[in-house]
Structures are given as C-alpha cells and as structure tokens.
Structure 1
Amino acid sequence: MNKIVIGTRGSLLALWQANFIKDSLIAKYPHMNVELQIVKTKGDKILDTPLSKIGGKGLFTKELEVLLLNGEIDLAVHSLKDVPVEFESNLGLGAITKREDIRDSFLSFKYKDIMELPSGAKVGTTSLRRIMQIHCLRKDIDCISLRGNVQTRLKRLKDGDFDAIILAQAGVNRLNITEVPIIKQLDFIPAMGQAALGIECRLDSQVLHLLDFLNDRNSLFETSAERAFIRELNGGCQVPIGVNAKLNEHNMYIEAILGLPNGNKIIKHNMSDIVLNLQDSESLGSKLAQYFITKGANDILKLAQNWTF
C-alpha cells in the first residue's frame, strides 16, 4: 500500500488522536501517503439528549464503520471506550495503543474537590458511570447532562453553568488544558478501555499487518479483560459500569463497579490471577462478570436503562 485514509470524528480531541496515529504511521513508513477523512457520527449530531437516552451502541463509531465496509477509508481511530465489544462482520481492532492516564478528573474554577462542593452544586458529565460514583460520595450533588466537545464543556464551566465538570484526564493531557485552575484526579473506576486508542479496520485489509507496531502489550491484555467483562454483561459505554484491569508482568488485577446512578444498589469487587495470553485475560474478565451476575447485576442494569437525569 502507498496510501492510507484514516477516518475520524472532527473534534479537537478526535483530531489529536487521528493525527497521532497518522504521524506514527508516517514515522514508521516514511514513503506512505496518509490522509484524514472527517466524519460526523450520530453521537456528534444529537447534542440535546443524554447519551444514555439516545439508544443503541456505536454512537461514535457506526458511520465510520460504514465507510470501512465500503472501502472509503482504510482505518478508523477511536477512543477505545467508545468502541462496542461486538463488531460488524469483517471488522475488528487492528491495534490498541499504550494508555494515557486512565483516571477521571474534577475541573472547577472555585472548588478543590467533590467533597468541598456545596450541597446542590451542579456537576456536568455525560456519564452514568461517573454520576454513580459521584453519588456514592455525595448524594446531594446535582449531576446535569453536559454534551459537546471538550472546548464546549470548558466554556460552559467558565461561563458559570456548572460548579464543576468531570473529564477524562487523558483528554486533559492530550489537549494540554491549563486554563482551569483546579484539576484534581479522582479515585473512580474508569470506563472500559479508557485512555487507550482503538484502531479499527477490515480484517481482510492489507493495512492490518501495518498496524502491529502500534500495539501495546499491557494495553492489549488489560483492555481485553475489560471488554470481556462488559461483553459478558451485555453492557456498553453508556451504562453505569466501571472496570479497570492492571497487568504487572504476568499478574493481572481487575476491579469493577456497577450500580444505579443515584448511588444505590452498588456492586463492587475485584479479582487477580496469572495471565499468560489474551485468552487468560478474557477469562479473568468473564469470571469477574459472572460474580457480578450472581449478585444481581442484570437486574440493576435493567433498572438503570430507565434512568433519567
């Protein structure tokens, strides 16, 4: 191949991610012509509704997958946490990159952390997972849906619409956000795949073998366990589930949390085991999910489907 077309969403963060992969490919293959094609997804177009209420999986990936299947682009760069655990036929992940900081962060112009917020404070976030973990600490906080790209969210914080907002620290780092005086990392369990990039392509494409150098072994093993956990629970990125695996040589530790967004009916548990391959990683994630199922996870997720905020 002498040309690769990368599909990406158009936000500054998505473009940072796509350009990071573009630059990596050019550095590896100096004679390769690499171009970006910007696409608006369903999740980008509907901004007046909480993500959990739009419905369906692949809110930020579906349109890119259509282009992949039609051969109009060669690969798509996603935040891995947005990538559904099941793929269209002949599509899959060609690479999973090294993770950035996996944590969520609290951003505010006035308050140092969640515990310092006054009762009834307005906190902006799109995530039921984050709302659940905020309410585990403070049930008197008013969590309000905050949609739009990072710059839109920062402007609304600056304009005083919110007392604080929650963002992924990976995005804060990648966009070098410095205009908010208080940025504090939270001890929340992150979303599946948070802080890693997933490179999606056709499994029969010539580009597949060109992507292997982008794979990070620890990220691959860790996110495979997390995705197996979500797959077993038939969940996705718009449900109140946090899961994080950490690999230290051959020992993997995985923890997860699941519950209602109001902080009630919480299940939290962890496991560890020796993993030698991807199958071991997936088995550990599935084993943890089975524990959650025995504790009533499916019933909680059904209740969470009808949640409004």
Structure 2
Amino acid sequence: MSHRSSTQLGNSAREHSRWAGATAPLAASCACRRRRDGRRPKTRAAAAVEAETKKAVVRIGTRGSPLAMAQAYMTRDLLKEAFPELSEENALEIVIIKTTGDKILSQPLADIGGKGLFTKEIDEALLSGRIDIAVHSMKDVPTYLPDGMILPCNLEREDVRDVFISAVAGSLSELPEGAVVGTASLRRQAQILHKYPYLKCENFRGNVQTRLRKLKEGVVDATMLAYAGLKRLDMEQHATAILDFEEMLPAVAQGAIGIACREGDESMGAYLAALNHEPTRVAIVCERAFLAALDGSCRTPIAGHARQADDGSLSFKGNVATPNGKRLLETSRSGAFNEEEAAKIGDDAGQQLKAEGGPDFFNW
C-alpha cells in the first residue's frame, strides 16, 4: 500500500492555509461556492486524509511465517485477478496475526494443545470483525469450526508429497543406525519408525527456514517437510528426495489452502466462491471425515489422502499408527467423486480402523 508522507500532507495543509487567507471578497465568494448537494467541495488536504483512511474492501488474516505470507499473497493476487474492483489501491489488506503455535516453539504441538494452535487467534479475529477472510494451511485446521464461521473455499491443491532432506544420505533407507531425524510430526515419526525402527526421531519445530538452518548446523541428520511448502517458497532445490505414498503417506489436507469467512457474509462468500477449486474441496472433505472419525489430534499419528482417479472416481488411502510405529493400520476406499460420497468414504474408513485398533489402541 502507498502512503503519503507527513511532509506531503503538511504541504497540502499549508496550501489550504494560503487559500483561506485570501482577500475578503474572494474568500466570501469561495464560501458561497457549494456543490449541488449543499456540501462544500473537499480540499486537497481533506481528500488526501480520506484516501489514507479508506477502509480496505477485504482484510486478509494470516500468520506471519514466510510460508503463511506466501499463501496470503497468493490469495490476494487471485482476488485481484478475479475481481477488477479489488485491484484498486488499498482495496486489499493483509493483516498478520501471531498464533499460540508461533509463540511456543520449544515443545511438541501435542503437549501444548494440538490442533487449532495455528488457527485459534485468526478465527477470533475473523469472528470479531478485525479481518474479513482467514487464510489457513488446511492441515492446521481442526475438524470442527467455531460457531459463526464457514470454510467454503479451497484453492487448487499443490503437490501433497513429503520430501526427505539430508546432507548425509539420499533417502531414509540410507541413514545409518542411530541417525536422528528431526520432525515435529507424530505422523512422520510413526511411519519412519514403523519401517526403520533403528532410527531416532526428535522434536524439530520452527518454520521452513529455521529447520533448514538447524539441519545445516548438524542438530539432526535429516528432516522431512511438505513439498508444497517448499514449492510455494521457491525452495524446491533443498529437497534431497521426494517420497512416494508407499514410503510416506501425507497428512490429512496436506498441500491445501483453506479460506474462511463469517457465516452470512454474502459479499465475502461471493469472492471465495470464485476462488474455490471444487476437486480439491471434495478430496479435503473425504480426508477430514476420516480424521474426524478417528478423533484425530496432534497426539494421533494419522495419514490420509484422497484424489480424483483417472476414471473420475474418488480414490482414498489412510492409515493410523502408534507413535512408536510398532502398530500401523491401513485402509483404502473408492467411490463416486462428490461431496456426499466423499464424506461417507472418509467416515467409513475411519470407523473401520477405529474398530480394528480396539479401545486400547489410542491410549498413549
């Protein structure tokens, strides 16, 4: 956004003062000069102040991490492309909101509240009217939404796979016994230890740049990140290997951006409807139904991925594991690619694994 400096505003004000100090007849003539609606024409100083204080049409709420900001900028640019009126100066404003998850980096997410740590403060800002829409990484969003808020829009999904990053090995299988993998994800930890029980996993939090720096400093031997995040930051070159689904099934909603607004806000709803990518939204409905059926939280190592197959049908794979990786339950489903069927497939898959695991499976 462009802002006029105080010097510029001061110059405008001085110009107005010189005009006001003109001869009496001239001043009187000007005093009588009014618009047809009876109001005086705006001085240049008043017009400048009005332009400066003009409220944005859409205030976009986001976390302040580089990745979150990249996603907010993406949303802003898509809105500008879709709606010419939003290309005007000051029509869009990005509002940075610090969340609990950003403030506490020394503890695992599961120990400080689990899901919702990266969304709670942003949701509160939305519901209080401080922002008009909220941009979230969908994998951070709990399966329930606060009353008065809806999430009608998913942008087109990025590559959902995980990447392996290391200076000492080309893949997880090449890491020597006792090597340390840094990850804040119990899902990744469980799948790693299930296949490679001789490796160690340590809590490894922070934004992408922080994790890469710690890796370079030798704090851990390897780490894993979402490929989508690296691509959105133009940092794909840091990936040592891209992992297929057999090696590492992704998190529910990984690679997807969700945009929320207040329930009943028709103007924001219309903006978001134009940005929504329906194939992504249907896939996310399936995955989140799976997560909800398993009562998933950051304490539950759950992975799930739904996609539209080549024949147009919905294909789903999911798993749930114990944090130490000793038990891992898997399932798969297919069906019609629509919202109703997607929700049913996800819920059925989750209920199946919940029954297979038994009442003691989730007690850790």
- Residue 194 (1) aligns with residue 268 (2): no
Unaligned runs of 5+ in 1: 304-309
Distance in 1, matches of 2:317 and 2:239, equals: 31
1:109-124 counterparts in 2 under 5 A? 109-124=167-182
Contact 2:227–2:242 (CA<8 Å) still a contact in 1? no
Per-residue displacement from partner, 1:166-223 (whole Å, max 9, x unpaired)?
0000011111215637243343111111101000111111201111122112111111
Distance 1:211 1:178 in 2: 29
Q: How far off is 1:139 after superposition?
A: 0.6
SS, match of residue 301 in structure 1: coil
Query: Contact between 2:194 and 2:327, CA under 8 Å: does it hold in 1?
Result: no
The question of 1:125 aligning with 2:183 is answered yes
Q: Is this contact kept in 1: 2:252–2:291, CA < 8 A?
A: yes
Residue identity over aligned pairs, in percent, reads 39
Query: Given the superposition, is the C-alpha separation of residues 238 and 91 from structure 1 closer, same or farther in structure 2, using an over 3 Å criterion?
Result: farther
Asked if 1:53 corresponds to 2:114, the answer is: no
- Aligned equivalents of 1:298, 1:50: Cα separation in 2: 25
CA contact (8 A) 2:186 2:298 kept: no
TM-score by length of structure 1 reads: 0.94
Offset of residue 56 of structure 1: 4.4
Q: Give 1:272's match in structure 2, choosing from 312, 315, 334.
A: 334
**Over aligned residues, Cα RMSD in angstroms?**
1.6
Given candidates 336, 339, 349, the residue that maps to 1:288 is 349
TM-score (ref. length: structure 2): 0.80
C-alpha distance after superposition, 1:72-100 (max 9, x if no partner): 10011010000111011111112011111
Q: If you compute each CA radius of gyration, which structure gives the higher value, 1 or 2?
A: 2
Question: Mind listing any 5+ residue stretches in structure 2 that lack a counterpart?
Answer: 1-54
Which has more strand, going by share of residues?
1
Asked if 2 retains the 8 angstrom alpha-carbon contact of 1:68 and 1:202, the reply is yes
Q: How does 1:30-45 map to 2 (within 5 A)?
A: 30-32=84-86, 33-45=91-103
Change (3 A) 1:237 1:217: farther
CA distance in 2, matches of 1:82, 1:181: 22
1:236 CA displacement: 3.0
* The one of 161, 176, 179 aligned to 1:103: 161
Relative contact order (alpha carbons < 8 A, sep ≥ 6): 1 or 2 greater?
1
Distance between the aligned counterparts of 2:56 and 2:64, measured in 1?
Answer: 25
> In structure 2, what residue type is equivalent to 1:150?
V
The reply on whether 1:299 has 2:360 as its aligned counterpart is yes
Q: Distance in 1 between matches of 2:344 and 2:278?
A: 17
Q: 8 Å contact 1:104–1:166 — kept in the other structure?
A: yes
Residue 171, structure 1, aligned to residue 229, structure 2: yes
* 3-state DSSP of counterpart to 1:123: strand
State the Cα deviation string for residues 99-156 of structure 1 (Å, max 9, x = none). 1110111001121000100111111111000001101111111101111111100000
- 1:6-155 mapped onto 2 (5 Å cutoff): 6-32=60-86, 33-155=91-213
1:226 to 281, 287, 290: 287
The answer to which of 113-122 and 249-258 deviates more is 249-258
Match among 210, 227, 238 for residue 271 of structure 2: 210
**d(CA) in 2 for partners of 1:181, 1:237:** 25
- Structure 2 counterpart of 1:235: 296
2: distance between equivalents of 1:271 and 1:223? 15
- Contact 1:169 / 1:185 at 8 angstroms: preserved in 2? no
Extract structure 1 runs of 4+ deviating beyond 6 A. none
Give the conservation status (yes or no) of the 8 Å contact 1:229–1:289. Answer: yes
Are 1:258 and 1:267, in contact at CA under 8 Å, matched by a contact in 2? yes
Paired residues, number: 302
| Closer, same or farther: CA 280–184 of 1 in aligned 2, 3 Å | closer
* Residue pair 2:60, 2:94 contacting (<8 A) in 1 also: yes
Distance 2:360 2:94 in 1: 43
User: What is the alpha-carbon distance in structure 2 between the residues aligned to residue 4 and residue 260 of structure 1?
Assistant: 43
Q: What SS does the aligned partner of 2:363 have?
A: helix
Which is helix-richer, 1 or 2? 2
In structure 1, C-alpha distance between the alignment counterparts of 2:282 and 2:208, rounded to whole Å? 29
